Amino acid sequence: MKLFTRLVAATSLLLLQAPAWAATFTVQVDNNQYTPQVVNIAPGDVVRFELVAGTHPTVSESSPAAFSPFTLGPTLLTRSVTFATAGTYDYYCSAHGAPGRIGMWGSVRVSTPTPAQEATKQAAAQLNIFPNPVRGGEAVLTMGELKGGQAYRLRITNIIGREVQSVVLRPETLTSGQPINFAALPAGLYICSVLSNDKVLATKRVTVQN
């Protein structure tokens, strides 16, 4: 029970660290490389560094620093950084690279979003799932109006981050509501994330009481 409580608290903290509309981009940290090496995001988006192999002390090269130095290794497998201001932010591994894009380096380019991108974020910020807690197996998901012609899906993960269900979302139905079936899930806390092209647009915590 104590472990469950800690996991719930940690999950809640992660959700509170970024705005609901922030997109999350993953950078894999491997031996001698960051993948992708260059990430293009909008202000307020999050870059999540995930360790693949090795030990990598990562340092921001910008002035002022975009983030505090951190070391991914056996005791720290991930680190998330929010970039609030437009600009180009280079960083490097001090064990396998050096300032000036030498050796193991990466870069985050933060650009002001286009009107279409901003509209998508505003729509995502209106994400709601009702009722919550979910009883009887079904709830209704609503959002603001999303741009058509793109693929959207709802990813449902448990509190340890494992995907347990995926639902294709139809933009034309979301303003009035799209039914989501939770009947196959055991009772517990879940994280519902709306994705477009594998980018997280919004998240919502949902309690299932089936």
Tens digits of residue pLDDT in 142-173? 988 877 778 889 999 998 888 999 999 998 88
Task: Please check whether residue 149 lies inside any domain of the structure.
Answer: yes
CA gyration radius for the chain? Answer: 19
pLDDT score of 136? 87
Question: In terms of domains, do 145 and 128 share one?
Answer: yes
Question: In terms of domains, do 80 and 102 share one?
Answer: yes
Distance CA 139, CA 131 (A): 6
Cβ contacts of residue 164 below 8 Å, gap of 6+?
Answer: 156, 157, 158, 185, 190
Residue 174 belongs to domain with CATH number: 2.60.40.1930
Task: Please check whether residue 141 lies inside any domain of the structure.
Answer: yes
| Helix (H) or strand (E) run with residue 155 in it | strand 152-157
Domain boundary among 81, 110, 139: 110
Domain boundary among 75, 110, 145: 110
Q: Considering only CA atoms, which of 45, 91, 42 is closest in space to residue 70?
A: 91
Number of domains in the chain: 2
Task: Please check whether residue 39 lies inside any domain of the structure.
Answer: yes
Residues of the chain with pLDDT under 70: 1-22, 116
pLDDT score of 137? 92
Domain boundary among 80, 110, 140: 110
200-209 pLDDT, tens digit per residue, is 888 889 999 9
Q: Considering only CA atoms, which of 66, 121, 117, 56 is closest in space to residue 88?
A: 66
pLDDT score of 146? 75
Distance CA 78, CA 49 (A): 5
Question: In terms of domains, do 119 and 176 share one?
Answer: yes
Task: Please check whether residue 16 lies inside any domain of the structure.
Answer: no
Question: In terms of domains, do 131 and 177 share one?
Answer: yes
Question: In terms of domains, do 30 and 72 share one?
Answer: yes
Task: Please check whether residue 4 lies inside any domain of the structure.
Answer: no
Question: In terms of domains, do 28 and 77 share one?
Answer: yes
Q: Considering only CA atoms, which of 175, 142, 159, 153 is closest in space to residue 207?
A: 159
Task: Please check whether residue 12 lies inside any domain of the structure.
Answer: no
Structural domain of 30? 24-110
Residue 128 Cα distances to 22, 49, 63, 199, angstroms: 16, 28, 39, 18
pLDDT score of 144? 84
pTM: 0.54
pLDDT score of 47? 95
